[in-house]
Structure 1
């Protein structure tokens, strides 16, 4: 089945975070009701963390049975457990410390102070993923995967002009030469990210506009890794007006402010100002 990518433009970061948080809460409630559990993949970065904080601050968070949610990460910095720069640490402070998750279902990447080298850590996380796959599957079925996007177009820790974006096997890789510190990172590969049913990319700022425009125009994955992102059901870019300047008009949907009372396929058409005369 071929899926399409769509873009939702919000007027600013707070509106974006609130909209994505409300959409997430509604969708996870439905997923648990329909399937009995939900596997979610989190991202790091300031916008991703802001979305998690908005989820934690919503009264609707109490409508979710968090004990039925599995939490994974798309990538992680190779740093000690509890380091402020780890995506896990940021997610715990923003959301996971505030909801009754089952710690047995929270699956952080290994840390640099746990007696493994980074390649062993990648293997261990892949094994952890496999141990939670449904019968007949190699990896869990990710219902929602959050991704941020860097100004260079990187997603997770798959950076341009590196080997990572072009790995063709679903799994986990060790990144030894990240152009952003720290040099050591762990990341899901593009095929594993793309096995997600829904990929929600969250990005803001004019510095992200060129990479986003190139990705949506069909740039190569090696040069602009985000160009290779495509979920099996939905791929949605949640962006602010500043990031929208190079997005093709045909891909922009009427901005949806998720009310929590709508089915996932319904949209509330409220066009946000984009600075492009729309």
Structure 2
């Protein structure tokens, strides 16, 4: 299989009942952000056509925020407006445990990139608690578990996630689940993460169980420094050693890459 920008392919993984991951490669990070933004708008519109509402789990990082900025550009074009944003629930896959006003918070970055422009009802914004909310990280994680349950269908602990966006670090961490960390083997839907190798050291993260409950999981990865981890994850690495290898959706798992991030995949063209 020869992979080059623009390709859409399936990864070869053991047959364990999971959806076969799809790989989409774009020429560069800018084109990746634009194509993901268009796909996200289309997916949320499709969810609303079926359910009346839609739900998305946001990620931070450079490419995650770039996608939201591109979505903002699409919203500004009336001819492209196909989503009722007042009927979209926004969740977070992880959050830095810092004060509410800190620019390090994924929520604050998402607001600047897109959410403030949408004039959303407060009940659609499911924000993880900040460090100045009067809770310990563990209490903040439990508080978010309660938020998830409140919006879940009867008999369920988690709400419907139509799309869950994730990034990945060069060492293979995703959300705030780092290689070898207790979070990599924690079964709870939301966990407090301390002593992260990447600052800030304390965070709140969805666990694997909550992530894997999403209908679609999209991993957004750009940059050559992440190429080895992409290749290892798609080759079936241990989720404890490389957490991004352990995430998947119930209906679809999509690895959305730029050419640099895909450069270590078998058959990739240099």
TM-score (norm 2): 0.90
5+ residue gaps in structure 1?
250-273
Retained in 2: the 8 A contact 1:66–1:102? no
Secondary structure of 2:25's counterpart equals: strand
1:101 to 120, 139, 148: 120
* 1:67, distance to aligned residue in structure 2 (A): 1.1
Runs of 4+ in 1 over 3 A off after TM superposition: none
1:159 partnered with 2:178: yes
| Contact 1:175 1:185 (8 Å CA) reproduced | yes
The residue number in structure 2 matching 1:112 is: 131
Among 181, 185, 197, the alignment partner of 2:199 is 181
Q: Are 2:255 and 1:248 aligned?
A: no
Query: Counterparts in 2 of 1:196-235, with a 5 A limit?
Result: 196-235=214-253
* Structure 1 position 33 matched with structure 2 position 49: yes
| 1:124-167 per-position Cα deviation (integer Å, ceiling 9, x unaligned) | 01001100001121110110000000001000000001111122
1 CA distance for matches of 2:50 and 2:201? 41
Alignment partners' CA distance in 1, 2:178 and 2:127: 21
CA distance in structure 2 between the aligned counterparts of 1:61 and 1:198, rounded to whole angstroms: 23
* Offset from partner CA, 1:153-182 (integer Å, 9 cap, x none): 00000000111112234x110011111111
After TM superposition, give the deviation of residue 248 of structure 1 in Å. 3.4
Residue pair 2:196, 2:202 contacting (<8 A) in 1 also = yes
Is residue 18–residue 248 contact of structure 2 (8 Å, CA) maintained in 1?
no
**Conserved 8 A contact 1:25-1:61:** no
Instruction: Name the TM-score, length of structure 1 as normaliser.
Output: 0.88
**Matched residue of 1:47: which SS?**
helix
Q: Distance in 1 between matches of 2:244 and 2:162?
A: 19
- Summarize deviations over 1:9-40 as a string: whole Å, max 9, x none: 10011111110111111111111111111111
Q: Report if aligned partners of 2:44, 2:55 keep a CA contact under 8 Å in 1.
A: no
Whether the 8 Å contact between 1:9 and 1:238 is mirrored in structure 2 is yes
Alignment partners' CA distance in 1, 2:46 and 2:234: 30
The answer to whether the 8 A contact 2:33-2:63 is kept is yes
Count of residue pairs brought into register by the alignment: 251
Q: Deviations over 1:68-91 (max 9, x none)?
A: 111000000000102101000000
Corresponding position of 2:109: 90
The secondary structure found in structure 2 opposite 1:242 is coil
The 5 Å alignment of 1:71-86 reads 71-86=90-105
Q: Secondary structure at the match of 2:260?
A: helix
Q: What is the Cα deviation at residue 2 of structure 1? A: 3.0
Structure 2 unaligned residues grouped into runs of 5+: 1-16
Which residue of 1 is the match for residue 11 of structure 2?
none
CA drift at 1:203: 0.9
CA RMSD of aligned residues (A): 1.2
Distance in 2, Cα, partners of 1:181 & 1:4: 33
Q: 1:177 and 1:205 mapped to 2: Cα distance?
A: 25
For residue 243 of structure 1, give the secondary structure of its aligned residue in structure 2: coil
